[in-house]
Amino acid sequence: MTMFTTSDGTEIFYKDWGSGRPVVFSHGWPLNADAWDGQARLVADNGFRAIAHDRRGHGRSGQPWQGNHMDQYADDLAELIEKLDLDDVILVGHSTGGGEVARYLGRHGSGRVAKAVLLGAVPPLMLRTDTNPEGTPLEVFDGIRAGVEADRSQFYWDLSASFYGYNRPGATESEGVRRAFWMWSMQVGLKGAYDCIEQFSATDFTQDLQSIDVPTLVAHGDDDQIVPIGAAALKTAEIVKDATLKVYPGAPHGLAGDYERTFNADLLEFIRS
């Protein structure tokens, strides 16, 4: 496996496919780099270099007790980019990975970055507050914490239904997609999974978004039950200076089937432009 060790001694797994301009993928919670395989192969087949890592605590990366917070996730991404000496990078983040991308740009700047893609991403803030009434109530995230603590295996299996919109009337369910989600989810360590819930739900990325100075594709399904579009993409597209908003009617949080094919076409068009 391809690994590197961060400055705090954590081993991070990453895939490195193809050659050309680098496209670096950051995955959602509680998944790993495998969730990006379709897009990684797509861009590598089209003359780009696809790089996707497992966030610390997730997948094949180390499971440290410390460092399971958004600043460290962004710093790990920065160390990966610096280790591989990447320039003119296109950053792509889904869900929590979108927060990781935003925090990287807010914390490390765009010196090595040319473009960004935020898909179903958590910024600017998921949690409902007095100043963010469109957000999700705290008790929802407390329920996620309770589910992960009590019976994470069953919790992840149940979550896969709403994640891919299979709980909607008329949806065509893929058991294989749900099993893959469950398998990836079970690879995240309990400590990393639990800590990350607060990070994706309560981190305010507003200042990070304000600092983004590269063209940014903001893509989101309008039936996203995990990261509702009203508190996420619609606000993000207003904050980021050079943002292009793509809304996928009826699409859930995790894109599969026709929804995934539509996003793939938009992704390829954006990174080629």
Q: Any catalytic annotation for residue 224?
A: yes
Which one of the listed residues 34, 54, 76, 224 is annotated catalytic? 224
Give catalytic status of residue 69 as yes or no: no
DSSP the chain: --EEE-TTS-EEEEEEEE-SEEEEEE--TT--GGGGHHHHHHHHHTTEEEEEEPPTTSTTS---SS--SHHHHHHHHHHHHHHTT--SEEEEEETHHHHHHHHHHHHH-STTEEEEEEES---S--B-BTTBTTSB-HHHHHHHHHHHHHHHHHHHHHHHHHHTTTTSTT----HHHHHHHHHHHHTS-HHHHHHHHHHHHH---HHHHHH--S-EEEEEETT-SSS-GGGTHHHHHHHSTTEEEEEETT--SS--HHHHHHHHHHHHHHHH-
State the catalytic residue, choosing from 61, 95, 160, 185.
95
Q: Which residues are catalytic?
A: 95, 224, 253
